[in-house]
């Protein structure tokens, strides 16, 4: 059911069946031309739920624009199917570049070589490719995305929303900020209940550093109403930002400690020495897809420590091997 948040502004609850994220929060601003912020996976369940909610509000589907906070398929997946015939899909140029890479088998295979260097076996990487839900739930091919950058203004339903670049969760992640009403749509940049996943991205030197910088950036905004990409959004904005910052500082200390205690390891091995909030008895029993996120997150923390001279990495011909400086 669509929930009215303010004049011409609605929250749409899109179920993400089978995903630990449980739901996606879409937001709709209704006007002569309407804007949908994030869409859900390209899955039947998401499509049916989204269409039902749009229809219940009686909006003109031909004049529907879509803004994707980032390229992940739970946010962008349905965009090409749901955008109006007289509508556009907006996303950052940076995420469009990554969408082009990850959208092809060739691009994925190139990226997968880096996972082997981090410690995954070739069999694990092959399995991940076959099972990757992003492959089946990512957007259909679409040639007309419109790239937007920092400060781009949108005008819908009497509101003015401004693009705020917040790299970290993805290299081109963006929030939308309504300064007049002190309202922010955070996508996956700031979430309650869940800590946004921060992974290493190919071509990004320090994605955790970028993320922490983006957190500091949005903490400067005047915000009364915060609308997140998943789960509930009840809680204090500044408190949550401070908690996320503290989480990563603690995680950095743990990561450095793991490198000290376990010298000469690859990132896959180091991830196995860290604590994770997941129901698995040990690293061996970790589901492979979760291992993928855990190793990516470990690499983001290692890169951060490396950039600040605390750890070093050497390629031994097969793996990247980490040690303290």
Nearer to Zn ion, 157 or 168 (CB): 168
Nearer to Zn ion, 171 or 229 (CB): 229
Minimum Å distance from CB 157 to Zn ion? 24
Tell me how far apart the alpha carbons of residues 13 and 1 are, in angstroms, rounded to a whole number.
7
Minimum Å distance from CB 70 to Zn ion? 8
Q: Which of residues 186-245 bind Zn ion (CB under 5 A)?
A: 188, 229
Neighbouring residues of 42: CB distance < 8 A, sequence distance ≥ 6: 73, 77, 78, 81, 136, 137, 138, 139, 140
Q: What are the φ and ψ backbone dihedral angles of 19, each rounded to 5 degrees?
A: -100, 140
Tell me how far apart the alpha carbons of residues 315 and 147 are, in angstroms, rounded to a whole number.
37
Minimum Å distance from CB 135 to Zn ion? 17
3-state helix, strand, coil in the chain (%, to 5): 40, 20, 40
Minimum Å distance from CB 74 to Zn ion? 5
Binding-residue total with Zn ion (CB under 5 A): 3
Q: Which of residues 69-98 bind Zn ion (CB under 5 A)?
A: 74
Tell me how far apart the alpha carbons of residues 118 and 246 are, in angstroms, rounded to a whole number.
26
| Token pair in block for residue 46 | 């998401």
Nearer to Zn ion, 80 or 229 (CB): 229
Residue 65 touches Zn ion, criterion: CB under 5 A: no
Closest to 299 measured CA to CA, from 196, 207, 168, 195: 207
Nearer to Zn ion, 74 or 233 (CB): 74
Nearer to Zn ion, 118 or 137 (CB): 137
- Residues engaged in binding Zn ion (CB under 5 A): 74, 188, 229
């Amino acid at each position: 059911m669509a929930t009215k948040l303010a004049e011409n502004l609605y929250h749409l609850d899109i179920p993400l069946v089978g995903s630990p994220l449980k739901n996606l929060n879409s937001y709709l601003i209704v006007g002569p031309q309407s804007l949908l912020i994030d869409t859900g996976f390209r899955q039947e369940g998401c499509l049916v739920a989204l269409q039902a909610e749009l229809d219940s509000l009686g909006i003109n589907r031909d004049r529907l624009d879509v803004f994707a906070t980032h390229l992940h398929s739970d946010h962008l997946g349905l965009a090409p199917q749901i955008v109006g015939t007289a509508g556009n899909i907006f996303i950052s140029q940076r995420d469009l570049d990554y969408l082009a890479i990850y959208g092809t088998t060739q691009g994925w295979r190139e990226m997968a070589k880096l996972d082997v260097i981090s410690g995954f076996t070739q069999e694990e990487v092959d399995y991940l490719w076959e099972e990757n839900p992003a492959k089946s739930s990512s957007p259909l091919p679409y040639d007309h995305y419109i790239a937007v950058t920092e400060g781009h203004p949108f005008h819908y339903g009497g509101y003015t929303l401004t693009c705020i670049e917040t790299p970290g969760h993805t290299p081109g992640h963006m929030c939308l900020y309504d300064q007049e009403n002190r309202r922010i749509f955070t996508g996956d940049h700031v979430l309650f209940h869940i800590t946004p996943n921060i992974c290493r991205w190919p071509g990004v030197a320090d994605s955790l550093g970028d993320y922490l910088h983006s957190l500091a950036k949005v903490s400067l905004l005047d915000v009364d109403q915060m609308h997140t990409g998943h789960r509930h959004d009840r809680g204090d904005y500044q408190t949550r930002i401070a908690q996320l910052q503290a989480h990563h500082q603690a995680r950095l200390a743990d990561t450095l400690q793991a490198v000290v205690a376990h010298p000469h390891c690859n990132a896959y091995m180091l991830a196995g020495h860290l604590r994770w909030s997941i129901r698995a008895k040990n690293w061996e029993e970790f589901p492979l897809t979760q291992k993928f996120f855990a190793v990516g997150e470990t690499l983001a923390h290692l890169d951060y420590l490396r950039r600040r001279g605390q750890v070093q990495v050497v390629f031994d011909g097969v793996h990247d091997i980490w040690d303290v400086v």
